[in-house]
């Protein structure tokens, strides 16, 4: 039985490995668009029914216009790089929700929400583009699907631990299960930080491709840091990199992002 579990895990790793375009990061994903997108679209529709869409015409129009420009840049990239089937699967939608929460998110398949609370952090259209690029990048890189795959892996890992320790004392089994539980929890946090950093980088590339100023992506996190005032958990126990880490990462990545945009035949100012 233990051998079967190990073979299943190894097989999934071998046959479900792919590469994130642009960043080149290797990922494992066993969740198809056909599995996740219908649920994603239904959840988004349900969310809009249960939450107040902003009546601020100017701000709402800005969110939709910026989202349209960035999604067109992403669509252009996908079609130019033989990702036509993936491009066709997206159902881009951008809505501003009247809520003071400082947040924005994107579900698999291109369903984006901005909260009015994040607009002061965005400060201007380029800032909106920085946040939009980041959120769209999560969908582009299939982070949602990858996290679901990781969740399946955790379940299989738990089974493997149970089988591997089945001949040991109860105290030993409890110890290994505790180690696995803590390790997997912190590991998942680090995994989320990997996604956040990747979305920061991809988002910067996409906003350049859409004609926005990438310097503003850095300034968004400067403003976020000022608002937070240092009230954040230790980075190794957080699902997100610290604001300071994001600022330094984006500063270092800016020349690469500019080069990537030029590589994909985009007119970079």
List the catalytic residues. Answer: 135
Beta carbons of 40 and 107 less than 8 angstroms apart: yes
Give the C-alpha separation, 13 to 27, whole Å: 9
Give the C-alpha separation, 36 to 41, whole Å: 9
- Cβ-Cβ contacts under 8 Å for 235 (sequence gap 6 or more): 193, 241, 242, 245
Give the C-alpha separation, 53 to 97, whole Å: 4
- Cβ-Cβ contacts under 8 Å for 34 (sequence gap 6 or more): none
DSSP assignments along 209-248, one per residue: HTT--THHHHHHHHHHHHHHTT----GGGSSS--HHHHHH
DSSP assignments along 89-123, one per residue: H---EEEEE------EEEETTTEEEEEGGGHHHH-
Beta carbons of 224 and 196 less than 8 angstroms apart: no
Phi-psi region of 111 (alpha: psi -120 to 50; beta: other; left: phi over 0): beta
CB atoms within 10 A of CB 182: 10
């Amino acid at each position: 039985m233990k051998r079967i579990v190990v073979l299943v895990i190894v097989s999934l790793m071998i046959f479900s490995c792919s590469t994130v375009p642009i960043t080149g990061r290797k990922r494992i994903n066993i969740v198809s668009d056909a599995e996740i997108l219908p649920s994603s679209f239904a959840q988004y529709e349900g969310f809009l029914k249960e939450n107040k869409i902003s009546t601020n015409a100017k701000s709402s129009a800005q969110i939709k216009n910026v989202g349209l420009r960035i999604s067109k840049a992403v669509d252009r990239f996908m079609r130019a790089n033989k990702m036509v089937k993936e491009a066709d699967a997206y159902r881009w939608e951008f809505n501003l929700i009247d809520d003071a929460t400082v947040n924005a998110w994107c579900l698999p398949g291109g369903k984006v929400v901005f909260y009015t609370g994040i607009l002061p952090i965005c400060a201007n259209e380029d800032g909106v583009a920085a946040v939009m690029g980041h959120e769209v990048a999560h969908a582009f890189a299939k982070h949602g699907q990858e996290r679901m795959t990781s969740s399946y892996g955790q379940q299989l890992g738990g089974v493997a631990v149970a089988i591997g320790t089945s001949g040991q004392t109860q105290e030993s089994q409890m110890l290994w299960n505790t180690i696995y539980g803590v390790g997997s929890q912190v590991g998942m946090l680090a995994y989320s930080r990997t996604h956040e950093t990747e979305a920061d980088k991809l988002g910067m590339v996409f906003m350049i491709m859409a004609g926005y100023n990438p310097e503003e992506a850095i300034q968004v996190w400067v403003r976020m840091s000022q608002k937070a005032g240092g009230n954040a958990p230790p980075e190794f126990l957080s699902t997100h990199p610290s604001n300071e880490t994001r600022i330094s990462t984006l500063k270092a990545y800016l020349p690469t992002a500019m080069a990537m945009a030029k590589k994909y035949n985009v007119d970079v100012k």
